[in-house]
Structure formats: structure tokens, C-alpha cells
Amino acid sequence: MSGSENAEGHVDVADGGGSAADGREPVAGGPPARQQPRPPARPEVSAAELTEAAIVRDRGDRPSRGWRGALYRFTGGALNPGIGAEERARHDQLRRIRRPLPGSHRIAVTSIKGGVGKTTVSACLGLVLAETRGDRVIALDANPDAGTLSDRLTGEAAVTVRSLLDNIDRTRSLTDVARYTSLAGRLQVLASEQDPAMSEAFDREEYEQVVAVLTRFYNIVITDSGTGLVHSAMEGTLALADSLVVVGAPTVDGASRASKTLDWLIAHGYPERVADAVVVLSCDRTSAEVDGARVREHFASRCRAVVEIPHDPHLATGGRIELDRLRPATRDAFGELAAHLADGFGRVRWESA
């Protein structure tokens, strides 16, 4: 850059190498261009900042149960004592049940002994998961001996899993699958074949074909298996399961049979499933002579979790199950079971035995 000093000691720019603040080229011999201060840089903003947490004043958790809920409602929200420990645990349970699920998840509910509530557990678990979560849940009755899952949920068994198998090559969409299911609330139900002569043909290969179709359209598939651990369909159930629920009871026969179920699984190459299983103790039959704590400790030492389902008059009838007719303690117990299973969503699947 070249320039000359004038009489006032200013340097005149001669080569036009700069611009005035107003965008005009400086004139040689004229007054110097003044540098205008740059405005401060504005931080980058976006609509992502307008979240509820950012712009809504904290109202605190609103209680809905007990004296806290009564006080909150009575004062129209003017007094908010917050939620108690029990309700906070309930919120945590709901958060766990609603855990995001990548892909599909298959839950097998089984027992070596009949009459301990296996179908009841399958039905209530399916209802709780379907109602609490926003994705698709289906319960499949894989009992080869005219299972009663559809009786407990919808009372419809005119169309069964056999009907789906007969048309499986033409089943290409969710609408196609829905032709063979019935609906209990938000839960889809696929009934077992009610003719024992035909249901015997439901083997491992056919079970795997059915599950392959269901996992294309449903996020959670719950299988209510038969009580025979050695029949072919059970082999497919165990091979494909991502989570396992073993049902027993806090009685001598109910507890011993549930424990023998675990023994059988370990002996046949499923130790990982046993370690990750959830044991459900159905308390329809109880006795003061049985040490319940000892029973719980036994299964807690062998499996991931133990859940006790209390006696409930609505379930004891053996009729159609409706969640809103369950006692709160029963509903909470099935919520606990659902939360334990949801804790396993997204885990790496076991290798098939």
C-alpha cells in the first residue's frame, strides 16, 4: 500500500485497497474512511429451543392418589403437596414399561404344570403392555390342547391359528393378519385350534412360520405355550423367545414344578434363559403352612426377578378378564411384571439352542 502524508499528517490511500464504511471507494486526497464497529454476532437459534420444559413454568408433579391427590383436587390445584413415594414408584414403573423398543420382542410364558395361572398371566400381561404402550401387541395361544386364551380375553375362537397357517402364503399385510385375530381393548389375540385332533399338527415349523409373520407387523408377540415342555411347538417357542416368564405358585406342588421347569431348561441348553427369566408366583392358592419368603428367595437366586400376583376375585372366576375390574394391587403386580420384561427390550438376543 502506498500513500502520501498531507499537511495535517493524515495518510492518503492511493491504491484503492480499502472500502469506506458506507460501501463507497475512498477518494485519494479526501478524508480517511472511518471503520464502523461491527454489531455483535447473534447466537444461532432455532425452534428446537421452544420446548415445554424451557417455556412452561414448573408446576410440580400433580398427585392423583391418596390424601395428596384429594388435597390437590379440593383446592383446585392451589395447594400441591407433590407426589408421594408410592405414586413416584408408579410413575417410574410406567416409564420402564414405555421404554423404546427397537424391532420386535417375543415373550414366552410357560410352565410344566397346568392350573397355576399361566394363561391368566399371558392375558393380563398382554392387556397391560397393549394399554400402556403405543405400539402393536399380540397374544398367541400356542397350546396344542385347545387353549383358553381367547376365552379369557375375547370369547371368539371361530378363526384360529390354523386358519392363518392355511393361508399364510397369502398373508402379506397387517390387514391380512387381522382377519384371523380378535380384539381385547388394544390387544390382538390369535386363538389356538379348538379341535384337539387338528391342534396336534401345530409343530415347531408351523409355529416358526406364524411368528415370522407376526413379528413383521407387531412390536411385541406374547406366546401362551402349552404345559408340555417336550412337544414340538415348545421347542420353537423357546428357540425364538427374547424373554421368558415361568409361572408357578407359592405351594408345594406349584413351587416345585416351577423349579423343575427351570431344571429342564438348563438341562436342555437354555441356562441363559433361566438366568434372565422372570418367575411369576400366582397366589390364588396360599397356605400359612408354606414359607412364602423361602419360596421367593429360591427363585430370586435362580432368575432375574420374582413377581407375586395376589389373589383377585375377578381372576378367580375363570371368565373374561377386564383390567378395570382388577384390584389395584393386582394391577400393580402385572405392571411390575411388564416393567421387568421391558427392562430387557433391545438386548442382544440369545443364540438358539
Backbone angles phi, psi at 108, to 5 degrees: -105, 130
State the DSSP string of 222-243: EEE--S-TTSHHHHHHHHH-SE
162: helix, strand or coil: helix
Where exactly are the structural domains of the chain?
63-97, 101-342
pLDDT at 148 over 60: yes
In 3D space, the residue among 283, 277, 280 whose CA is nearest the CA of residue 343 turns out to be 277
> What residues are paired with 307 via a beta bridge?
280
Q: How far apart are CA 263 and CA 165, in angstroms?
A: 33
Q: How far apart are CA 342 and CA 336, in angstroms?
A: 10
Classify domain 101-342 by CATH number: 3.40.50.300
Q: How far apart are CA 130 and CA 137, in angstroms?
A: 6
pLDDT at 240 over 80: yes
CB atoms within 10 A of CB 241: 25
Lowest mean pLDDT segment, chosen from 62-71, 109-118, 246-255, 333-342: 62-71
pLDDT digits (tens, 9 = 90+) for 265-323: 999 889 999 999 999 999 887 778 889 899 999 999 999 999 999 999 999 998 999 99
pLDDT digits (tens, 9 = 90+) for 32-78: 666 667 766 666 767 766 766 566 555 567 777 677 777 777 787 77
* DSSP one-letter code for 174: H
Summary count for the chain: helices (H), strands (E): 15, 10
More confident residue, 46 or 130: 130
* DSSP one-letter code for 80: -
In 3D space, the residue among 210, 347, 170, 164 whose CA is nearest the CA of residue 273 turns out to be 347
